[in-house]
Structure 1
Amino acid sequence: MIPVRGVEDRRIAVLGLGRTGLSAARAIMAGGGVALCWDDAEAARERAAGEGLTLHDLGRGGAWEAVDALIVSPGIPHLYPAPNRYVAAAQAAGVPVDNDIGLFFRSLAVPEWDRFETVPRVIAVTGSNGKSTTSALIHHCLEVAGRESQLAGNIGRGVLDINPPGDGGIVVLELSSYQTELARSLTPDIAVFTNLTPDHLDRHGGFGGYFAAKRRLFAEGGPDRAVIGVDEPEGRLLAGQLSEGAGDDRVIRISSGQKLGGAGWNVFVRKGFLAEFRKSRQVASIDLRAVRGLPGAHNHQNACAAFAALRALGLAPKLIEQGFQSFEGLPHRSQIVGEKGGVTFVNDSKATNVDSAAKALAAFSGVRWIVGGQMKDGGLSAVAPHLGNVSKAYAIGRQAAEVALELNEMAGRSLCEVCETMAEAVGRAGAEALAGETVLLAPAAASFDQYDNFEKRGEDFVSEVARVLQKGGPDDPGGEMKDA
């Protein structure tokens, strides 16, 4: 645990008692503060009370008297589309609002670091797509290299639940826009911006607000090194704003589809080969085509981001390549879960928006595509350039008929059939797939019409794939099921 610093004898309200809120409350108490906890859900309050935490109804009269700060969980809005009523009350009372990320950054460094040979460092990764895989890949490569590393934030453990890092330790954080937009303290040593595509626009008051939330990690965080994906205009703008000139190697530009020139520090992938250039000279390269855990252009972008961050730490390219080769990917993110008769089954349930799904489709050919769920605004037009990779689509979820109609009209042929359930879709796709094809779950939609979250959806896919693999006939030895 990271005890929160500067809260001795202060009364800190904690709103939202899920993983993040409970972790923050414990860390506040460990730092000598008084945690005043509240959640509208009775079950969450009972869980907190069972831990011995103090409940404090933030809706009653006088609730904000003598409260020094409010800590909110990521899912609680503070501005758009409208402030949460408790947050609005705190703001009206002049109570500062922060989150666990802000507490973490102000509490991590301790006087004991003066005795360390190498001060611990923090790598913070943000962006629309790929930040989980990038963060996990950085962490994996550090472990392969024998370096102390902890993975936390929007992936793995809560930031305040990690152990205090030791001499030379590295903390790798995945940070969402919900986390970066509100943290009052942001001081990463290395900050990574993967890419930017429209998402969470209601929460941020539009695309500009969404970009601004991501940009705070760099503009206010002031990292020693910034790794910036420049395949979108926002990334190019951000890289230019952070750089003092073309040769400024404090900014490392990355791309998954274009050769980057100039005198600066660049990492890019072309035709499956990752290249690192410094001062216009190539200094390293990795063949990513055979790296099974990183298929497709979107994962090659993740590889560029991870490689650049690790090089900024001083890791040798050969050590990084070893980490890449042994990386198996994350559950629900282009995760190979089984093979049978030359057919590969891939779980990309995390592809909850159309841009993510388009990138998944681009990574494979001969795709039996399982698509649908709680669809987002804008439709499926972004996948149109990749429909040539799709042998057939199988629509699931409450909007399955609408999804099938849109895809059939877009393709100009009968491409998609309505299945509604995961069991029906996987069963049909598995039965119809030919050797060399891929059965891909990349829903391009949220999961909440049928599942609690995308993880549950992915687990259902894995379970149904297992059924398909076990159906082998007398001459069929069955399939191989990968670890889910």
Structure 2
Amino acid sequence: MIPVRGLQGQKIAVLGLGRSGLSAARALVAGDATPICWDDTPAAREKAEAEGFTCLALRDPHDFDDIARLIVSPGIAHLYPTPNPMVDAALRAGVPVDNDIGLFFQSFATQEWDNFDTAPRVIAVTGSNGKSTTSALIHHILTTVNRPCQLAGNIGRGVLDIDPAIDGEVVVLELSSYQTDLARSLTPDIAVFTNLSPDHLDRHAGIGGYFAAKRRLFAEGGPDRAIIGVDEPEGRYLAGQLAEGRADDRVIRISVAEKLAGPGWQVFARKGFLSEYRKGKQAASIDLRAVPGLPGAHNHQNACAAYAACRALGLAPRVIEAAFHSFAGLPHRSQLVGEKDGVRFVNDSKATNVDAAAKALSAFQHVRWICGGLEKEGGLAELGAASSVRKAYVIGREAAHFAMQLPVEAEICTTMEAAVAQAVAQAEPGDVILLAPAAASFDQYDNFEKRGDDFVAQVQKYL
């Protein structure tokens, strides 16, 4: 646990008692602060009270008279589409609003670091797609070379649940826009921006607000090194804002759309090969086509980001390449479930938006595509022709409406069981049955993991 520093003897309100909220409350107690907790769900309050926490709804600005700060869990709106009433009361009272990420960066460094040979470092990864795989891949590479490291944030453990750092350790954090948007302190040593595509637009009042939330990791934190995906205008703009000039190697640009050139530091992947260029000269090349855990251009982008982060730490290219080959990938992200009679089954339930689904589709040929769910703002126009798709099998409560928007032949199945059964019945050797929903899961499942688990369970019946 990371005890919260700087709030000793103060009352701190904690709103939302899921994983991050409870860990924040525990870390506040460890730092000699007093948490006042609340969650609208009775079961969550009961769990917190069983641990000895006081639960109290603070609805009026005067309720915050003796509260020093409000800590808000990521899923709770603090501004758009409308602020949570407790957040609004705190803001009216002039009480600072923060989250567990802000508390982490405020508290992580200690005086013990003065005795370390190598100061611990933090790598923070954000972006629309690929941040989980990129974070896990960085952690895997560091583990492979026996570098002490921990994985936390939006993946793995809560940031305040990790162990205090030891000499030379690296903490890898996956951070969502919900987390970067509110944190009062953001000071990573290395920050990674993978890409940007429309997502969570209601929470950020549009694409501009969404990008602004991501940008805070770089603008507020001032990392020593920034690794920026430049395949979208926002990434190019961000890289331009951070660099002092073309040769500024504090910014490492990455791409899977084009060969990057110039006097700076670039890492890009083209036709399955990762290339690193510094000062206009090639420094390394890696064949990614034979890396089973990183299929497709979208995973090659993740490889570029993880490679650049590890190079910024001083790891050699061949060491990184060797670690790529032992990376198994993550569940629900281009996860190979199995193969039978020449048909492969791939679970990419994490492809919850159109851009992620399009990238998953482009990684395979002869796809029988299981898609559908709770459609996100913006519709399905960005899918394009989806030329790799032989047929779509649509699930979800609004399957008929979803199917009407697809640029391919579609069959309305509604349930995962029916979709897998129909896809299996019609599949031929060489086909890939791919779950890449291009939609949220909440119309039928609690989360994308549950949806992916259902897909795997249905596939296992056939396997």
- Bin of the TM-score, shorter chain as denominator length: over 0.9
Partner of 2:324: 324
SS in 2 for 1:167: coil
Q: How far has the Cα of 1:430 moved from its partner? A: 1.5
Report the TM-score, using the length of structure 2 for normalisation: 0.99
Partner of 1:479: none
Distance 1:208 1:404 in 2: 29
SS in 1 for 2:262: coil
Aligned pair 1:435/2:429, yes or no?
yes
Q: How far has the Cα of 1:399 moved from its partner? A: 1.3
* CA RMSD in angstroms, aligned pairs only: 1.0
Deviation by residue 1:377-434 (Cα, 9 ceiling, x = unmatched): 2222222232x20111101111111222222xx34xxx11111110111111112211
Partner of 2:399: 400
Distance 2:167 2:452 in 1: 38
Partner of 2:389: 390
Distance 1:226 1:130 in 2: 17
SS in 2 for 1:181: helix
Aligned pair 1:211/2:205, yes or no?
no
* Structure 1 segment 403-482 matched on structure 2, within 5 A: 403-407=402-406, 410-411=407-408, 415-469=409-463
Distance 1:378 1:211 in 2: 16
One-letter amino acid matched to 1:226:
A
Contact 1:344–1:439 (8 Å) recurs in 2:
yes
Distance 1:210 1:280 in 2: 34
Partner of 1:54: 54
Aligned pair 1:75/2:69, yes or no?
no
Contact 2:199–2:376 (8 Å) recurs in 1:
no
Distance 1:113 1:356 in 2: 40
Contact 1:451–1:457 (8 Å) recurs in 2:
yes
Contact 2:11–2:34 (8 Å) recurs in 1:
yes
SS in 1 for 2:245: coil
SS in 1 for 2:65: coil
Q: How far has the Cα of 1:60 moved from its partner? A: 6.5
Q: How far has the Cα of 1:68 moved from its partner? A: 0.6
Q: How far has the Cα of 1:447 moved from its partner? A: 0.6
Moved more, 317-326 or 16-25: 317-326
Identity %: 70
Flag structure 2 segments of 5+ consecutive residues without an equivalent. Answer: none
Q: How far has the Cα of 1:284 moved from its partner? A: 0.7
Partner of 1:276: 276
Deviation by residue 1:297-341 (Cα, 9 ceiling, x = unmatched): 111100000000000000111111111101111110110011111
Deviation by residue 1:82-111 (Cα, 9 ceiling, x = unmatched): 111100000111111000000000100000
Contact 2:272–2:287 (8 Å) recurs in 1:
yes
Distance 2:120 2:414 in 1: 50
Contact 1:395–1:416 (8 Å) recurs in 2:
yes
Partner of 1:224: 224
* Structure 1 segment 69-218 matched on structure 2, within 5 A: 69-218=69-218
Q: How far has the Cα of 1:62 moved from its partner? A: 4.3
* Structure 1 segment 248-259 matched on structure 2, within 5 A: 248-259=248-259
SS in 2 for 1:418: strand
Partner of 1:473: none
Contact 1:264–1:280 (8 Å) recurs in 2:
yes
Report the TM-score, using the length of structure 1 for normalisation: 0.94
Distance 2:231 2:122 in 1: 25
SS in 2 for 1:436: coil
Moved more, 110-119 or 196-205: 196-205
Contact 1:230–1:254 (8 Å) recurs in 2:
yes
Distance 1:438 1:120 in 2: 43
Distance 1:400 1:55 in 2: 41
Distance 1:406 1:32 in 2: 55
Distance 1:9 1:418 in 2: 59
Q: How far has the Cα of 1:61 moved from its partner? A: 8.2
Contact 2:61–2:92 (8 Å) recurs in 1:
no
Aligned pair 1:308/2:329, yes or no?
no
Flag structure 1 segments of 5+ consecutive residues without an equivalent. Answer: 470-484
One-letter amino acid matched to 2:364:
F
Partner of 1:11: 11
Q: How far has the Cα of 1:439 moved from its partner? A: 0.3
The alignment of Structure 1 onto Structure 2 pairs a total of residues equal to 463
One-letter amino acid matched to 1:465:
V
Contact 1:56–1:63 (8 Å) recurs in 2:
no
One-letter amino acid matched to 1:466:
Q
Aligned pair 1:30/2:25, yes or no?
no
SS in 1 for 2:384: helix
* Structure 1 segment 342-353 matched on structure 2, within 5 A: 342-353=342-353
One-letter amino acid matched to 1:430:
V
Distance 1:428 1:374 in 2: 21
Partner of 2:265: 265
One-letter amino acid matched to 2:414:
E
Contact 1:352–1:446 (8 Å) recurs in 2:
yes
